Amino acid sequence: MTERWTVRVDKRLCVRTGLCVASAPADFELDESGQGRARAERTAESDVVLEVAESCPIEAISITDADTGHRVFPPET
Ligand code: SF4
């Protein structure tokens, strides 16, 4: 599968719950300050990654389509 998503954690928002890492340790890790971050900025489309982004309590995780630049999550309003 092609790596079509760009996954980022907004460090201005992340409040270090660790939920993303606990839910998907293959996709997320903690940085040296205890904030979540994607293990790889580019990833294949993934229901798990989308569910983690949806479950982040302050929507610090964003997903964009790497090819088109369209936002996958949070959805554009
Ligand atoms: S779930 Fe959200 S707030 Fe919690 S560590 Fe991950 S990015 Fe930060």
Which of 11, 17, 23, 27 to mutate for ligand 1's pocket (most ligand atoms within 8 Å of CB)?
Answer: 17
- CA–centroid distance, 50 to ligand 1, in Å, is 13
Specify the pLDDT at position 47.
96
The pTM for the full model equals: 0.94
User: In a 3-state reduction of DSSP, which class is residue 11?
Assistant: coil
- Which parts of the chain have pLDDT scores under 50? none
Atom 8 (ligand 1) nearest CA: 14
Report pLDDT for 3: 82
What is the per-residue pLDDT for 77? 76
pLDDT at residue 68, rounded to an integer: 93
Q: What is the pLDDT of residue 52?
A: 98
Query: H or E element: which one contains 40?
Result: none
Q: What gap in Å lies between CA 30 and CA 22, rounded to an integer?
A: 10
Domain interval for residue 33: 4-73
Ligand 1 pocket, Cβ-based, cut-off 6 angstroms:
9, 14-20, 35-36, 56, 58, 60-61
Residue 76 confidence (pLDDT): 82
Rg (C-alpha) for the chain, rounded Å, is 11
CA distance 68 to 59: 21
H or E element, residue 44: none
How many domains does the chain contain in total? Answer: 1
First to last CA, the chain: 28
**Residue 25: CATH number of its domain:** 3.30.70.20
